[in-house]
Structure 1
Amino acid sequence: MKLTELTKGDRAEIIRIHADKALKDRLTSFGVMRGEELTVKGCSIAKQTMEIEVGSTLIAVRADEAEKIEVEKL
């Protein structure tokens, strides 16, 4: 399942990130990496951006980036 399929309040574990090295490195710098748990805190209109919490960090992720993050809902 992709991150974009989750809704506000959902929790999930990151299974894999299907992205180029630059995007993977940027996401990793925020703590978004395989094995981490996240919570969806909110979504903009039409899910153009999603606010997620990984650990104690809140991150805004664009829809095209969220589409590349494979998760398993908890």
Structure 2
Amino acid sequence: MKLSDLSKGDVATIKSIDCDKNLKNRFYSFGIIKGSKITIEEVTMTKSTIEVKINNTKVAVRLVEASKIEVEHEQQ
């Protein structure tokens, strides 16, 4: 499942990140790394951007970028 498939309030664990080095470094700088828990905080009305919370940091991620992050959805 991709991060872009999740909805507001969903929690998941990052399994892998499949993108170029520059984007991967950007993700890493925000703490978006394999094994981290990530929560979907908001989704824009146009569904072009999502706000995610990782640790105590909120980050806006484009849906195109979120589709490069493989996650495992956690049941609540």
Partner in structure 2 of residue 25 of structure 1: 25
SS at 2:28 equivalent: helix
Q: What is the identity percentage for the equivalent residue pairs of Structure 1 and Structure 2?
A: 46
Alignment gaps of 5+ in structure 2 = none
Partner in structure 2 of residue 71 of structure 1: 71
CA shift, 1:47, in A, is: 1.5
Q: How many residues align?
A: 74
Partner in structure 2 of residue 58 of structure 1: 58
CA shift, 1:45, in A, is: 1.5
Which protein is richer in helix relative to its size? Answer: 1
Partner in structure 2 of residue 37 of structure 1: 37
SS at 1:46 equivalent: coil
Q: Deviations over 1:15-47 (max 9, x none)?
A: 000100000000000000000000000100231
Alignment gaps of 5+ in structure 1 = none
- TM-score computed with the length of structure 1 as normaliser: 0.97
What is the identity, as a one-letter code, of the residue corresponding to 1:73?
H
CA-atom RMSD, angstroms?
0.6
- TM-score computed with the length of structure 2 as normaliser: 0.95
Q: Distance in 1 between matches of 2:11 and 2:50?
A: 13
